[in-house]
Amino acid sequence: MFRVSAGGGVPKQVTFLDSTAKESSHRWPSFLPDGKRFLFVALRVFDETSTTYLSSITDTTRIPILSSDANVVFAPPSNVLFLNNRTLMSQQFDLDKGTLAGEPHPVAVNVGYVPILALGDFSYSQAGILTTGGGRSVNRQYAWFTRTGQQVGVACPPGNYFDIALSPSGLSAAIQRVDVQTNYSDIWIIDLPRSLLSRFTFDPAVEDDPIWSSDGKYVYFSSTKEGTYNIHRKVSTSVGSPEVVTPAGLSQRPMDISRDGRYLLYEVNNPKTSEDIWIRMLDSTKESHPFLASEFSEGFPRFSPDGKWVVYTSNESGKNEVYVQSFSASGGRWQVSINGGSQPRWRQDGTELFYIAPDLKLMAVETKTGVTFDFGLAKPLFLTRVDSYDAPNRYIVAGNGQKFLINIPIGDEFANPITVTINPDL
């Protein structure tokens, strides 16, 4: 954690990770009334619980206070709030000694939280107002659509699904499925001709961003198993255990593999340069180097079918737009979208690009690739109901641009009610 003057200036680090304890991050500071001391949460690799410490902006010394499932909030005048198995607990806090006092007691039940973030769905204001929520509920499904937007089938039963990737054969898809009880997620495989769903990964972690190797032998994905997102792969027949592709460090997510199987495009979240696009050689050298790294966020890269071009998004204009750039360093670059764009995809023969507009419409752009790149005007096809415009993989292009498998809600997505309590008995 860092502190910085409200008027700006140079940030100063106030907490330091303990490598001997395998700490992965410090989060969710909550100040005490003196404005100097604060509570914060330390997360550790391979540990589902977190430890709350008391520290100060003027002294890096820290004192352990308690273990909890999520963040701890100071509730004036002298209590702390924390989660224990989705039950919100309150306990007195001795401000002079900086220690807990008395016994904890429940305040609310069935409170939502996100385990990987150690963040509970509750808050407490200086005015004595407590809010608690049960998290977000959604039932989604992957469904087939034609170019006119007509739904012509479904690929899987309802569930809490997010990212998807089509296998090279077009007969299988890898998807991210979230466990609503733990908020962890795994990769599952859909047998598309049979609409048969089977689990592919089994780690107590968030596993996301599936892509296939060009020969269909492996499924690559991101995992928080080592503490931060890094890239793993597993044989697509589900035989054996996943192997680590990139070491833990900066957050890394796989995005695409070239058709010749030589290059992996992946995103790196760098605090200094935001989201960057990197290239990793998949030969024996395993070398990696940046493809696009600037002060802006670049993401969602995809190789053109001929491997000569890369489509991606950048927010350099102030909002995400779709760009195409030569894979060769000597080539050019073109902006393809006009009023915002995300989740770009190539048609299998390279004659079209698709992307999602901010209004969730699926857009199509005629393209010509080869020695040079040329493209036409973007045309809307139909309105999708993807859950997020600015997410990486909420649809796939099949049938050479004639069919689309899209993540849609079953009924309405809703947030469980938020309970507001004024001057609760803490």
Tell me the pLDDT band of 415, cut-offs 50, 70 and 90.
Answer: low
Lowest average pLDDT, out of 25-34, 47-56, 82-91, goes to 47-56
Q: In this predicted model, which residue has the larger pLDDT, 120 or 354? A: 354
Poorest-pLDDT segment among 113-117, 221-225, 319-323: 113-117
What's the pLDDT at 383? Answer: 96
CATH topology of domain 2-136+416-422: Neuraminidase (2.120.10)
Residue 330 has pLDDT above 80, yes or no: no
Does the fold of domain 140-409 match that of domain 2-136+416-422? Answer: yes
Least confident of 282-291, 365-374, 386-395: 386-395
Provide the residue count of the chain: 426
| Gap between the Cα atoms of 322 and 97, Å rounded | 56
- How many other C-beta atoms lie within 10 A of the C-beta of residue 333? 14
Residue 418 exposure: Cα atoms within 13 Å on the Cβ side:
11
> What digits encode the pLDDT tens for the residues 338-369?
999 999 999 999 999 999 999 999 999 999 99
From the number of C-beta atoms within 10 Å of its C-beta (0-12, 13-18, 19+), residue 308 rates as middle
- Tell me: pLDDT of 251 over 90: no
In sequence order, what are the residues at sequence separation of 6 or more whose Cβ sits closer than 8 angstroms to the Cβ of residue 301? 255, 256, 265, 267, 277, 291, 292, 310, 311, 312
Q: 69 pLDDT band (50/70/90 cuts)? A: confident
CB 207 within 8 A of CB 185: yes
Of the chain, the percentage scoring pLDDT greater than 90 comes to 68
pLDDT given for residue 183 in this prediction: 65
With a CB cutoff of 8 Å and minimum separation 6, the contacts of 147 are 364, 381, 382, 401, 402, 404
Q: Which of 82-91, 347-356, 370-379 has the lowest mean pLDDT?
A: 82-91
What is the pTM for the complete model shown? 0.75
Is-contact 154 144, C-beta < 8 A?
A: yes
- Residue 313 is predicted with a pLDDT of 96
Alpha-carbon gap, residue 67 to 262, rounded angstroms: 46
Stated as kind and residue range, the H or E segment containing 38 is strand 37-44
Q: CA 408, CA 390: separation in Å to the nearest integer?
A: 15
Using alpha carbons only, what angle is made at residue 136 by residues 127 and 106, rounded to the nearest 5 degrees?
A: 50
Q: What homologous superfamily does CATH list for 140-409? A: TolB, C-terminal domain (2.120.10.30)
Question: So what's the pLDDT on residue 276?
Answer: 95
Q: Which of these, 408, 413, 410, lies nearest to 136 by C-alpha position?
A: 413
Percentage of the chain exceeding pLDDT 70: 95
**pLDDT at site 135:** 67
Looking at residue 97, its pLDDT comes to 92
* pLDDT above 60: residue 47: no
Q: Determine the pLDDT at residue 274.
A: 82
C-beta separation of 321 from 339 below 8 A: no
| Long-range own/partner contacts, residues 239-246 (CB < 8 A, 24 or more apart) | 242/201, 242/203, 245/220, 245/280, 246/280, 246/288
CB 334 within 8 A of CB 310: no
Hey, where are the domains in the chain? 2-136+416-422, 140-409
pLDDT score recorded for residue 235: 96
Q: Answer with the residue of higher pLDDT: 281 or 371.
A: 281
Which residue in this structure is represented by tokens 């940046």?
290
pLDDT, residue 84, reads: 82
Q: Please report which confidence band the pLDDT of residue 49 belongs to, taking 50, 70 and 90 as the band edges.
A: low
DSSP-derived secondary structure for 276-307: EEEEEE-STT--EEEEE-SSS-EEEEEE-TTS
Residue 192: exposure state from Cβ atoms within 10 A (0-12, 13-18, ≥19):
buried
Sign, Cα dihedral of 382, 384, 389, 394: negative
From CA 56, how far away is CA 249, in angstroms rounded? 27
Strand ordering across the sheet containing 263-270: 251-257, 263-270, 274-281, 288-292
In this predicted structure, the answer to whether residue 420 has a pLDDT above a threshold of 60 is: yes
Model confidence over 280-326: pLDDT tens digits? Answer: 999 999 999 999 999 899 999 999 999 999 999 999 998 999 999 99
Which pLDDT value is given to residue 181? 67
Whether the pLDDT of residue 331 is over 60: the answer is: yes
DSSP 328: S
Q: Which two tokens stand for residue 268?
A: 């790196």
Which residues are within 8 A (CB) of 182 and not within 5 positions of it... i.e. 6 or more apart? 115, 204
Residue 306 pLDDT? 95
Instruction: Report the pLDDT value the prediction gives residue 138, as an integer from 0 to 100.
Output: 59
Query: Quick one: pLDDT at residue 343?
Result: 96
Confidence of residue 160 (pLDDT cuts 50, 70, 90): confident
Distance (Å) of CA 7 to CA 3, 4, 33, 38:
12, 8, 21, 21
Q: What is the mean pLDDT of residues 58-66?
A: 91
Average confidence (pLDDT) over 214-218: 97
